[in-house]
Structures are given as C-alpha cells and as structure tokens.
C-alpha cells in the first residue's frame, strides 16, 4: 500500500477500532480488525530465540510439543564474536523462526549498556562499549528484518539494572547520554531501520520512559526520525493522557485486564468526554499501519519463515564457535590432544546444566541444548572414558520470573527440570553435599589424563527482575577451584556465565582459563570443539572483567544499584574508558581473547584527509598467522586523543574503540585489513553546543588484538576544530 492508501484505511477506522490497535488484547498481541482486513499484531520474546507459547491471558505455558525452537547464543555471546557477519546470520535465524512461529515483532535485540558486572540482564545485552553494541545490534536487526518480521531495540533507555527497574530514575550527564547510552539506539534507527523500539520500565528525569516526551518525542521521533512502533515494556504505561501525548504506539502489560489498560477503556472514555482528541491517536495508527505495510502484513506478499531448520542450527554453531573466549593459556596447556586422552575427568555443575529455560522473559524452549559434557563425549567417542563429578551443589530454583502462575504451570506439566530444581534443600544438607562432592572430585583427579572444570553462573544469577548481589562465583566454587588446582595444577578452568565474575582467588594458579557466555543450543559442542582443538578460539571480551567489584566505576564513582534515584556519577567513564584512563588494571581487558596461534601485525599505513564533514582517516595493515593452526582474528582500532584544544578540565577517555574487523587467516598466511574512520571517531560530545566536537590536535591511531594489546600505533593530526550534528 502507498501512503495515501494507508491514510484512507486509517480514516475509515472508528474510535473503538483505533483503540483496539494500540493496546494488548492478549499478553502478546493486539486485537485485529477483521472487518477492515487489519490483522492482530503479534509479539514474542526474545533475544535468544522465540519464546514458548503462552495462553492469551494466562501465564501458563501451553506446553505443547510444537513450540520448541532454536536457541541462539545470548546477545553478549554474539557480541563476543566481534564478527558482524555471524551476528547478521544469527539475527536472520531469529527472524526466520519468529516468522515461522507466526510472530510480527521479535522483542530483540537487548542493547542496554553493561554498566555494572552485576547487571541481572547483562547476558541479554551486548557490551560496555556503545560502538560495539551499535554495530552488533544493527547487524542483528538487519538479519531479523530480512524475514518480514520487526526487530525491537530494547529497552529505551537507561535500563542498566534490574533493581527497582519499574521505578528508578537515573541521573546522567548529557555527555554520557550522547557518548554512551544513546549511540546504539540511534544506530538501530538510522542505520538498522529498526521497526520497533521498546519503552523501558524506568524513568528519566522523574518521568516514565513511556511518557518521557524529551527522549521520545524530541529525540527518538524528532531528531532520529523514528517512524516505527514505540511499544511499552509490559506494564510500563502509567497514565492515559501522558501515553497519548508521548509518541507511544502500543501499550502492552502482563495482566489480563486488557480493557482496563490506560490506552483501552480509560482512553475511550477520555475521548468521549472531550478530554482527549481522537485525532491524537491518528499518528499512532499510521505508524502501526506503516510497520504492518513494510512487513507485508496487508498485501499478502509476506514471507512464511520456518523454525528448527538444520541449516539454522549450523549457523548458530558457527556463531557459538566464534564467541568462546580463551582468557589464559600458559604453557599452551590448551588445546587438549584427543588422541592422547584415555581418561578425562570433567568437574562442575555447568558441564551438565542446560540454560535455555531460564533468565526470565528471554526463556527458550530449545529443541535441544548440547551441554559441554555432551559435547566432549560426542567428540571423544568410545576410546576415551569421560568421568563426571558435579564438584559442587548448585541449588538452582529455576523460578520463572512471572511468579506463581508460571511456576505452578511448570509444576503442573510435570517438567522434571522444575521439580528437580525447585527442591528446597536446607543449608546444612547443602554444606554436606558440597563437602562430599568436593571430596569425590579431588579423589577422581588422581588418575585422569586431563581434568576440566566447568562452572560459573546460571539463570538463578543472570536473570530478569534482579541483579546479582555478589561478584564472586556462587556455591563455593572459588575454594573448590583452588583446592582442585593444588591437586591438578594442569586443570583447565572453564566458566559459563552471562556476566563477569571474580577470579582473583585462583587465577594466578590456573594455567588455562576459558570463558563462554550462555551460548545457545550448540554452545556445549562449540566449547568442546575449542577445548579439543577442533576449533581455534577467536572470541573477545565485549566487557571488562575487573579484579574486584569495587574497581568498577559504577560502584566506585557512581551508584549501583542506588535507590529510586541512581547517580551515574562515573559519566562517560564506563568500562575500559575508566580502567584505561585511571590506570585500574582489570583481570581481563575489553577486547581480550587469545588464540591457539600467534598473529603478527605489520605494514601499518595511516592517512588523514580533510572532508566537508571534517577529518577522515584511512588505515591499512597486514596480519600474519605465523604459527598455525588456521585461525580468525578480530583486529581492533582505537583512537587516543593526545593533545587538543578542548577545555583543559574536560577529561577524555585514554582511547575508544572506533573500528573492528574479523578475518580468517590460514596458517603461515598474511591478510590485509583496512578501515575508514569518519570525523565522529575523533570527537567527544560537547554539552555547550549540544553537538559532537572534533578538537584540532594530535591523536594516536592504535591497532591491536585487545584494548590492552596494542600492536601498532601512528600519530595523526587534526588540523581544524569542527562540530558535528548529534543527530
């Protein structure tokens, strides 16, 4: 349909029909208007795959056998590939499956900044760095929307914690908004052409994000020209008039009193009493129809999608393989040599635990999920005995985030997972269990050819609606790892988690350490392939792992989780920006990730040119894989301001990630990389001019394998200060 036709369609809608289109008539759908050939608009979570089917008005999973789907690596795992192509392809799988399950909008990607290592939903988000987040989110959105399904960038904005999530109001500087918290959302709109943006639960300047006219009307709609659907988070609307005045299009909630929603009967009453003009709804209707039109929901030309395709699972395996991060590998302990293994001991609850069904709204009913233990057994086959010891007792509750209903439902359908996990075990029983598990694990170490520990967190800790309260590993893992390393100094330590954890107590004693985010249905196989050398690790940390929590700027300079007001006093100094600038050495740095081969960076050439839009920079270099095996490398480009004419008391980060690319490089081969930086790469946000300022001065172009592993540098000069519009 063209614009005129859409306007005509909207003009023929009655008030009641318009109101039907702008609020939920079921937990995950608005009502359709069949007499006008307008279908319902159907939503589904989430970033890791299409959520199980729930009844229209009860949080009881329908628990059929036809809603199993593919389970993607979480958003942090996708970001750790540092590979746009892997994320694009994974996004394509997500969109294909959403379409295949009859959805119109998949509520993904999650792109709030990792402000604290304790953030309960860090796993659903990408990174501490706005540029990496933007690049990965845009890639995901482009993939999803290839399938006539809308993606939904969430949660706009500043939803960086779960504590008090439905009411807290962060205090953030304008500079931090535009350097840290806005860029990824802006990129999703301007570059990703995302069809959906979700209004967060929290407030900003004391106003809920679904009523926040400055951020929504002035910036999202006005400056960024977003013409897709602004959808509330589920229960994030609190006032009829404010929701109408704010350019919000659809109100969704988690309660089944659909007619009582603010944009339902109360709105109809307000219009009938003349307190709200019906015309105020027309922009909402036109935006919804515009999105429906672009998704081919109105013209019968729509793609059908498909779910659980074998090719999709192969795509997800590739992404999982590229997201595993080798943190440490002293004495080249890894990879293990499969042919030399006659007896392998695997210790740790996460070796044998699946994660798909946890985390809150991101839960997935995975068609299957390969655990690391399964992956290792699959690959080693019958010539190697793989012994397993739990090592510690993880009394995972597995409580569904929607409370009692869903909990009972899980019990009702007799899910062994729920009943097993929900067992309440008294503390002394747990202590006794842990002591026994530790004793067995230590005893089993004696005659194993190799020992792999696989622990970390689970979705009792990385979960919606609450943040972690402790940076340390739970269940006594730190002391267990220490004791095991005394018996087996060659033990491989592998952690699976959705956010950084402390390693301080044992990291010096561990020779080989591997980290994997919740990595989807093929994650256990990808990890096993990496440990056994069938895949060469190429993942990079998308977020800094501090030594201790008090090193984190959100906890040392700012407030986390704070109270109803949360002061982001660290400002722009989030993540490596802080650690580098204030020389706080992290446990593992942003962008860190080792390989089984060695790369040599060489032949750097850097040229600056002045363009009408300000300075631009072209960078070329080569990277050689000098020792093998064939491997992939993510080359990162940082810009470091050395001197420039900005205010003397204005602090700029030591360096900022401004480009990255990943390529496969064969053993003994050399490959070229090239990058182009626009003026924005040299800028900071200037509050006085409300724009990005590029100060004249000298800068250093830094090219490396990690933020703390710069291999080549070149000084360049920006000859003339200039200003860039912020939108």
- CB closer to ligand GLC, 107 vs 317: 107
- CB closer to ligand GLC, 10 vs 105: 105
Q: Closest separation between CB of residue 108 and ligand GLC, Å?
A: 8
Tokens (6 digits) for 513:
């350490």
Is 233 tagged catalytic?
yes
If DSSP codes are grouped into helix, strand and coil, which group holds residue 86? helix
Q: Closest separation between CB of residue 154 and ligand GLC, Å?
A: 5
Whether 295 and 194 have beta carbons less than 8 Å apart is answered as no
Query: Is the backbone peptide bond immediately before 629 cis, with ω within 30 degrees of 0?
Result: yes
- CB closer to ligand GLC, 154 vs 693: 154
* Contact partners, residue 222, CB within 8 Å, separation at least 6: none
Q: Closest separation between CB of residue 234 and ligand GLC, Å?
A: 4
Alpha carbons 414 and 629: distance in angstroms, whole number: 48
Nearest to 480 by CA among 586, 350, 372: 350
Whether 143 and 87 have beta carbons less than 8 Å apart is answered as yes
Alpha carbons 176 and 569: distance in angstroms, whole number: 10
Residue carrying the six token digits 């013409």: 227
- CB closer to ligand GLC, 361 vs 543: 361
Alpha carbons 663 and 643: distance in angstroms, whole number: 33
Strand 492-496 with 450-456, pairing: parallel
- CB closer to ligand GLC, 87 vs 107: 107
Strand 670-677 with 614-625, pairing: antiparallel
- CB closer to ligand GLC, 403 vs 672: 403
Burial-class residue 700 by CB neighbours within 10 Å (0-12, 13-18, 19+): middle
Q: Closest separation between CB of residue 519 and ligand GLC, Å?
A: 20
Burial-class residue 246 by CB neighbours within 10 Å (0-12, 13-18, 19+): buried
Alpha carbons 363 and 377: distance in angstroms, whole number: 26
Residue carrying the six token digits 């050819």: 449
Whether 143 and 89 have beta carbons less than 8 Å apart is answered as yes
If DSSP codes are grouped into helix, strand and coil, which group holds residue 244? helix
* Contact partners, residue 470, CB within 8 Å, separation at least 6: none
- CB closer to ligand GLC, 159 vs 312: 159
Q: Closest separation between CB of residue 98 and ligand GLC, Å?
A: 13
- CB closer to ligand GLC, 362 vs 621: 362
- CB closer to ligand GLC, 48 vs 512: 48
Q: Which residues bind ligand GLC (CB under 6 A)?
A: 45-46, 107, 154, 233-234, 361
Q: Closest separation between CB of residue 28 and ligand GLC, Å?
A: 7
Q: Closest separation between CB of residue 153 and ligand GLC, Å?
A: 11
Give the number of C-alpha atoms closer than 13 A to the C-alpha of residue 435, restricted to the C-beta side.
5
- CB closer to ligand GLC, 29 vs 341: 29
Q: Closest separation between CB of residue 175 and ligand GLC, Å?
A: 27
Q: Which of 129, 233, 349, 580 is catalytic?
A: 233
The full 3-state SS of 360-404, as one line of letters, equals: CCCCCCECCCCCHHHHHHHHHHHHCEEEEECCCCCCCCCCCCCCH
Q: Closest separation between CB of residue 534 and ligand GLC, Å?
A: 36
Q: What DSSP character marks residue 197? A: E
Q: Closest separation between CB of residue 292 and ligand GLC, Å?
A: 20
* Contact partners, residue 4, CB within 8 Å, separation at least 6: none
Give the number of C-alpha atoms closer than 13 A to the C-alpha of residue 355, restricted to the C-beta side.
36
Q: Would you tell me how many other CB atoms lie within 10 Å of the CB of residue 720?
A: 10
Alpha carbons 713 and 710: distance in angstroms, whole number: 7
Q: Closest separation between CB of residue 141 and ligand GLC, Å?
A: 15
In whole angstroms, how far apart are CA 238 and each of 167, 211, 260, 504, 619?
11, 8, 12, 44, 50
Q: What DSSP character marks residue 72? A: P
- CB closer to ligand GLC, 108 vs 594: 108
* Enzyme catalytic residues: 233
């Amino acid at each position: 349909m063209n614009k005129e036709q859409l306007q005509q369609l909207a003009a023929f809608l009655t008030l009641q029909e318009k109101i039907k289109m702008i609020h939920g008539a079921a937990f995950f759908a608005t009502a359709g208007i069949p007499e006008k050939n307008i279908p319902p608009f159907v939503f589904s979570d989430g970033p890791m795959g299409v959520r199980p089917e729930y009844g229209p008005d009860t949080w009881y999973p329908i628990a059929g056998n036809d809603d199993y789907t593919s389970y993607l690596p979480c958003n942090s795992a996708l970001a750790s590939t540092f590979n746009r192509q892997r994320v694009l392809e994974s996004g394509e799988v997500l969109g294909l499956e959403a379409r295949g399950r009859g959805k119109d909008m998949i509520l993904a990607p999650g792109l709030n900044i990792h402000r604290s290592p304790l953030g309960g939903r860090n796993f659903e988000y990408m990174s501490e760095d706005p540029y990496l987040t933007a690049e990965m989110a845009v890639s995901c959105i482009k993939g999803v929307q290839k399938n006539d399904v809308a993606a939904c960038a969430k949660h706009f904005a500043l939803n960086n914690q779960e504590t008090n999530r439905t009411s807290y109001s962060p205090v953030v500087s304008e500079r931090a908004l535009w350097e840290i918290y806005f860029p990824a959302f802006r990129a999703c709109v301007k570059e990703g052409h995302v069809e959906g943006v979700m209004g967060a639960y929290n407030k900003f300047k004391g106003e809920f994000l679904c009523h926040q006219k400055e951020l929504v009307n002035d910036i999202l709609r006005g400056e960024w020209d977003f013409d897709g659907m602004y959808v509330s988070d589920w229960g994030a609307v609190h006032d009829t008039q404010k929701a109408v005045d704010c350019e919000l299009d659809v109100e969704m909630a988690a309660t089944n009193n659909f007619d009582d929603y603010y944009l339902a009967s109360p709105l109809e009453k307000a219009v009938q009493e003349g307190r709200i003009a019906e015309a105020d709804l027309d922009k909402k209707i036109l935006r919804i129809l515009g999105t429906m039109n672009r998704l081919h929901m109105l013209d019968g030309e729509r793609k059908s999608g498909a779910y659980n395709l074998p090719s999709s699972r192969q795509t997800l395996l590739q992404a999982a393989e590229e997201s595993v991060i080798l943190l440490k590998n002293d004495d080249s302990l890894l990879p293990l040599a499969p042919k030399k293994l006659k007896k392998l001991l695997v210790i740790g609850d996460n070796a044998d635990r699946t994660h798909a069904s946890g985390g809150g709204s991101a839960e997935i009913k995975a068609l299957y999920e390969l655990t690391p233990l399964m992956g290792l057994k699959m690959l080693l086959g019958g010539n190697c005995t793989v012994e397993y010891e739990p090592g510690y007792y993880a009394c995972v509750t597995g409580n569904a985030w929607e409370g009692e209903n869903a909990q009972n439902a899980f019990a009702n359908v007799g899910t062994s997972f729920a009943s097993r996990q929900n067992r309440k075990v008294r503390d002394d029983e747990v202590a006794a269990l842990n002591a026994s598990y530790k004793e067995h694990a230590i005893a089993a170490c004696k005659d194993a050819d190799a020992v792999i520990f696989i622990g970390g967190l689970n979705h009792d800790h990385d979960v919606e609606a609450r943040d972690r309260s402790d940076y340390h590993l739970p269940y006594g893992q730190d002391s267990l790892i220490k004791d095991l390393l005394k018996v087996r100094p060659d033990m491989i330590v592998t952690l699976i988690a959705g956010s950084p954890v402390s390693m301080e107590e044992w990291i010096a004693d561990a020779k080989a350490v591997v980290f994997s985010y919740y990595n989807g249905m093929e994650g256990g196989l990808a990890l096993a392939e990496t440990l056994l050398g069938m895949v060469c690790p190429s993942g990079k940390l998308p977020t800094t792992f501090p030594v201790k929590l008090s090193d984190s700027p959100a906890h040392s300079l700012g407030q986390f989780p704070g109270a109803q007001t949360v002061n982001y006093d660290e400002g722009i100094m989030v993540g490596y920006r802080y650690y580098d600038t204030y020389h706080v050495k992290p446990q593992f740095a942003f962008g860190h990730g080792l390989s089984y081969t060695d790369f040599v960076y060489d032949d750097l050439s850097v040229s600056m040119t002045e363009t009408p839009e300000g300075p631009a920079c072209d960078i070329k270099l080569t990277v050689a894989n000098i020792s093998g095996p064939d491997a992939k490398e993510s080359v990162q480009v940082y810009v470091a301001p050395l001197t420039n004419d900005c205010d003397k008391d204005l602090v700029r980060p030591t360096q900022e990630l401004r480009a990255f690319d990943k390529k496969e490089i064969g053993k003994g081969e050399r490959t070229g990389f090239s990058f182009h930086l626009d003026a924005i790469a040299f800028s900071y946000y200037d509050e006085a001019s409300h724009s990005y300022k590029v100060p004249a001065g000298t800068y250093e172009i830094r090219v490396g394998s990690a933020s703390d592993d710069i291999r080549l540098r070149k000084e360049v000069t920006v000859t003339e200060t200039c200003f860039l519009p912020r939108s």
